[in-house]
Structure 1
Amino acid sequence: MVRIVFLFLFFIQTAFAVSSLELAQNLVNDASKNSQLKLLFANSSYLDNKGNLDIAKISRVLKINSLLNLNLSNSQTLKLNFRAKADSVVFFKILSDALIEGGYVYFIPTELILHEGNIDYTVQVDSQYILDPGTLYRLLKKNSVYIDNIKQIGPYFYQYDLNFDNAKLDTNVNIALNSLTVLERPLKDYIFTTKNASKLIIDANDADFWFPKVLFLDKNLNLIKSIKNNEQNNHFEEFIPSGSVYVIVSDMYSLDNIRRGLKVLLKK
């Protein structure tokens, strides 16, 4: 069971900008390789077009030079710690989707520390491979979330400092105003924009059993309103709160409950 801790002391954010060389050294975690790493990274910044470390390129260079091996001889229990200053709804949504897309479908939350918007979250997963930092970088980048630093802080224990300063939600469905839209079976939560509509109406298929979970967020991804229904209800109707830009639609328990998709209407 996840252990939740609310800190009332000053939360020290330890994410500082690191160079590509420092990040490469953290990933390799072997002092005997430092001279080789300096040849590869000391004179190369490896930044992307937003000025962030391009961890996909760094990871690729390390693997090409046999400095980073992500395959384990047998399955191990890995611990992954993620730290960020972010809205908790957005943090868990973006990170969970990235982990699942990265191949870690069954991960177990073990600890959560919250304080004044700072999140310190640890999960555990049994796997025969270590999470590819380049893959995680690409998946998070889709939502303008970046990795400031990665450290190995113990055997099979990795810490990631994430930057949510410019985070955005990557919408996956397009809902037109005043036109009923039929959505196919979801592989993940539906995310769409409100388009300045005043009312949202959603219907599930009569053969499904929907337990509505609908979140309204503003342009900065702050949660405005959360509606969660623990009782089955295949019809949802709600006035859209002022300032809402994004809507996340899901099920309280499992997306299998809406396997036949949804019908969505945004009314002006």
Structure 2
Amino acid sequence: MIKKLSLIFIFSIILNASVLDNKIESLIGSSEFNENKGLIEFLFKNANNFYINDKVNYIAVMEKLKENGLLKVGLNSPQEVFITFKISDDPVKSMKIISDSLTTLGYYHYFTKNLFYDEYKTLTWTISLKTEAAIDPLMLSKELAKNSCQLIDIKQEGYIKWMYVIDTSYSTLSDTQVITNNERVDFRKPLTPYFIKVSNAKSIKIISKWSNQWFPQVVFYDKHLSILNIIKENNKKSSLQLEIPEGTTYIKIDDLYTLANISRGLSVIIKE
């Protein structure tokens, strides 16, 4: 029995090492992998340390590769780089998470090359951008992880084509302000529209600060980021009280024309 368990354990280690090698090769390319195979075997000799719940821990793998100069994203000259995201759940919310992650990393100008939603409810989104360096997959992976997105696979082809397969079934929006019922929150000058998260809330009161010129635009979303209701006011308001639609998880608070109209901030009170 002990011998059998030992064989199973050894087989598991060998299998994990083999899978890990394949993932590393997908990340850095066959040429780089073959050229540095000895170093890679040494760095990842304890293959099980790079797994979490029987799945490859991509962030740990990429950190080790980057520390040793094996994860290269620089290009010889500005080129068009293509990134494809395969997303498992909540396509609208997932696209927002990816867009926000790219913005955080300083990538504002990119173009959608392909957008496809198949019968298996998998969204495939391909974007392109002109750059001197591919988007750092380690930095992007860390941003996605902040929103509870799990990386299933990452592949690169010749530095200019990358593909990310992402499990978003447990994703959250990390940039939202969670507001509990009967709590008053004072928001400062916004750089982007306010985005808040609520639970079992019945009403919201929004108070504009002195000297603002607020023309309200408030959007209510469910947990999948599907729109439940939109409120727009063409008249300036000093405050606004609204019923919250059933099933609301997220609320975006904006100005109909420009964020400069609420430069002194807003206060928000949620009621159960």
Q: TM-score range by the shorter chain?
A: 0.7 to 0.9
Q: Name which of 146, 149, 159 aligns with 2:150.
A: 146
Alignment-derived partner of residue 79 in structure 1: 82
SS at match of 1:73: strand
Give the count of matched residue pairs: 249
Give the Å deviation of 1:201.
Answer: 2.8
Alignment-derived partner of residue 95 in structure 2: 92
Give the Å deviation of 1:165.
Answer: 1.9
Larger radius of gyration: 2
Q: Name which of 219, 235, 243 aligns with 1:214.
A: 219
Question: Alpha carbon RMSD of aligned pairs, Å?
Answer: 3.2
Q: How does 1:18-37 map to 2 (within 5 A)?
A: 19-31=19-31, 33-34=33-34, 35-36=37-38, 37=40
Alignment-derived partner of residue 14 in structure 1: none
Is 1:54 equivalent to 2:57 in the alignment? yes
Normalized against structure 1, the TM-score is what? 0.76
Alignment-derived partner of residue 206 in structure 2: 202
Q: Which amino acid aligns with 2:22?
A: E
Alignment-derived partner of residue 185 in structure 1: 189
Contact 2:29/2:158 (8 A) holds in 1: no
C-alpha spacing 1:176/1:209, structure 2 compared with 1 (3 Å) = same
Alignment-derived partner of residue 13 in structure 2: none
**Which deviations, in whole Å up to 9, do the C-alpha atoms of 1:195-252 show, x marking residues without a partner?**
422112334556445562523223xx46361426496765654322223333344567
Give the Å deviation of 1:23.
Answer: 2.1
Q: How does 1:1-268 map to 2 (within 5 A)?
A: 19-31=19-31, 33-34=33-34, 35-36=37-38, 37-41=40-44, 43-47=46-50, 52-116=55-119, 117-153=121-157, 156-170=160-174, 172-204=176-208, 207-208=212-213, 210=215, 212-218=217-223, 221=224, 223=226, 225-227=228-230, 229=232, 237-250=241-254, 258-268=262-272
Gaps of 5+ in 2: 1-17
Normalized against structure 2, the TM-score is what? 0.75
Contact 1:211/1:251 (8 A) holds in 2: yes
Q: For the residues of structure 2 that align with 1:184 and 1:145, how far apart are their CA atoms?
A: 29
Contact 1:20/1:46 (8 A) holds in 2: no
Contact 2:214/2:255 (8 A) holds in 1: no
C-alpha spacing 1:255/1:162, structure 2 compared with 1 (3 Å) = farther
Which structure features the higher share of helix residues?
A: 2
Gaps of 5+ in 1: 1-17
Q: Which amino acid aligns with 1:44?
A: A
Identity, % of aligned pairs? 25
Contact 1:170/1:191 (8 A) holds in 2: no
C-alpha spacing 1:214/1:24, structure 2 compared with 1 (3 Å) = same
**Which deviations, in whole Å up to 9, do the C-alpha atoms of 1:44-81 show, x marking residues without a partner?**
14546565533222122212332222223332221111
Contact 1:208/1:260 (8 A) holds in 2: no
